[in-house]
Amino acid sequence: MIDLADFRAVDLRVGRVVAVDDFPQARRPAWKLTIDLGPELGVRRSTAQVTNYAREDLEGTLIVALVNVPPRQVGPTRSEVLVLGATSAERPVALLRPDPGAQPGDRVA
């Protein structure tokens, strides 16, 4: 169990995927995502193992991202945020997506 203060330290934001690029250097299949996180946070990059989604299905979609984690170097790419999804051993990642009325930069609480 964690207390509410621990949960409040996690900064989850709505973002809009504005570009999806190939990532052939990844050890496991992945996309390089460019994500608009609104005026306060701007545009950030992430690598995501969500190749079960076509590029066309990701571009323009809203996602949920963890933004207050240190950047990670993933091969030649710097991943600045963590895109959230539901996972299971039996099926591919299912992205967590807010309702269409949400805006980039909105906090998830």
Q: What is the pLDDT of residue 77?
A: 92
Of 89 and 79, the structure prediction assigns the larger pLDDT to 79
pLDDT in tens, 40-80: 999 999 999 999 999 999 999 999 999 999 999 998 999 99
All structural domains of the chain, each given as residue ranges with its CATH number in brackets, are 11-102 (2.40.50.140)
Q: What is the pLDDT of residue 69?
A: 95
Where b means 16+ CB within 10 Å and e means fewer, 36-72 reads bbbeebeebbbbbbbbebeeeebeeebbbbebeeeee
| Amino acid (1-letter code) at residue 26 | A
Of 59, 38, 24, residue with least CA distance to 108: 38
Q: What is the pLDDT of residue 109?
A: 87
% the chain with pLDDT above 70: 100
